[in-house]
Structure 1
């Protein structure tokens, strides 16, 4: 099977040349483009999710031999959640080579977090099937890079941490208020303010309310910890 120049360039970006190009083609095919003769990437996404999980669990155990299960679990979740997968996909410009149906293209599918997160897991599975676990492991470790060594700082849930900070000081739980929404309906951008009853506040903007709330909580918590 012959791959396009863009897909060949994508192989270079991820550092793996496929012996079976059809696997990569399938990994990059969204369900909106599937036909009886063209498989989509959903089955590969299912497998890639498990391969990614195993690689991350192994990497976390190796990076901190003394960490407890309670410490490892949030770090693991931070590395494999859809937001992290989508961020990795954006860094390698995976959206550019996704094969999407017309409706998904019109609705901004190349930028959608869920589609990007699923697609990178499908790519991991494709590499696994093409060259085995060690090749897939090398791919994951290469693409996730410093995220793994820095995950201790990123694993803490910011909203939970901010609530604990407030309660420890006799304050009511923080409020999260949407202060703005911009962008088209298919790709909205939200601005959320995290507010405490003592008047402290921080804002953040993201492509989802959940991400904006987390970012606002993280910004406010960082400010409070710096002040104290």
Structure 2
């Protein structure tokens, strides 16, 4: 397979030269442009998420041999979440080589957190299928080490903190309710309400449910504990 200069340059930034470049091309194919003869990256995304998870679990155990499960779990979550995957995708300019449908491209798909995060996981799977687990581990660690070095028990996200706040007081787990969905299908905007069974609640609006839930949890925590 003849590869464009952009793809060759991307492999250099990634740190892996593919023996089967068709795997990389599939990992870069968004569902908006897939056809029966050009499959998208969703199945690879599923696999890459699991490969990333195992590498991060191993790395965290090696980095802190005394940490308890309760300390490791939030660190792990911070390292494998879509936001971290998308940040690394931006660092290696993955968006520049994504294959997108016209509508997705026009709506800013090359910069979208979910699109970049999913594609990064798919690329990890492509490396794994191309050269095995050790190659995938090497690529992952090359890009994730700075994040591993600075992640700690305080990296818990707002939803986790709100859940812990509720459990410490014997309350039911927080609920996240979709209040409104606006905008076109390719660029929806969600309004989410975080609510406790005490009646306390807060709302937030964002371009993904995950972001809106996190922001609503942050707002509710601020109401419950103004001193932070």
TM range (shorter): 0.7 to 0.9
Kept in 2, the 8 Å contact 1:79–1:151? The answer is: no
Distance in 1 separating the partners of 2:101 and 2:141: 31
Structure-2 change in CA distance of 1:61 and 1:87 (3 Å): same
**Partner SS state of residue 139, structure 2:** helix
Structure-2 change in CA distance of 1:16 and 1:57 (3 Å): same
Name structure 1 gaps, 5 residues minimum. 169-183, 191-203
Q: Which residue of 1 aligns with 2:41?
A: 41
Q: Which residue of 2 aligns with 1:18?
A: 18
Kept in 1, the 8 Å contact 2:95–2:111? The answer is: yes
Distance in 2 separating the partners of 1:27 and 1:88: 15
Large movers: runs of 4+ above 6 Å: 162-166, 215-219
Give the length in aligned residue pairs. Answer: 223
**Partner SS state of residue 145, structure 1:** helix
TM-score (normalizing by structure 2): 0.73
Kept in 2, the 8 Å contact 1:85–1:116? The answer is: yes
Describe how 1:100-111 pairs up with structure 2 within 5 A.
100-111=100-111
Q: Which residue of 1 aligns with 2:96?
A: 96
**1:48-77 superposed Cα distances (whole Å, 9 cap, x missing partner):** 111111101111111111111121111111
Distance in 2 separating the partners of 1:43 and 1:210: 21
Distance in 2 separating the partners of 1:57 and 1:137: 11
TM-score (normalizing by structure 1): 0.73
Provide the alpha-carbon RMSD of the alignment: 3.9
Describe how 1:115-194 pairs up with structure 2 within 5 A.
115-149=115-149, 150-154=151-155, 156-158=156-158, 161=161
Distance in 1 separating the partners of 2:75 and 2:104: 32
Distance in 2 separating the partners of 1:124 and 1:145: 15
Distance in 2 separating the partners of 1:45 and 1:212: 23
Q: Which residue of 2 aligns with 1:65?
A: 65
Name structure 2 gaps, 5 residues minimum. 169-183, 191-203
1:215 CA displacement: 6.6
Structure-2 change in CA distance of 1:188 and 1:90 (3 Å): farther
**1:98-130 superposed Cα distances (whole Å, 9 cap, x missing partner):** 001122112222122221111111110111111
Distance in 2 separating the partners of 1:159 and 1:50: 22
Structure-2 change in CA distance of 1:70 and 1:164 (3 Å): closer
Deviates more, 1:56-65 or 1:66-75: 66-75
Distance in 2 separating the partners of 1:213 and 1:33: 30
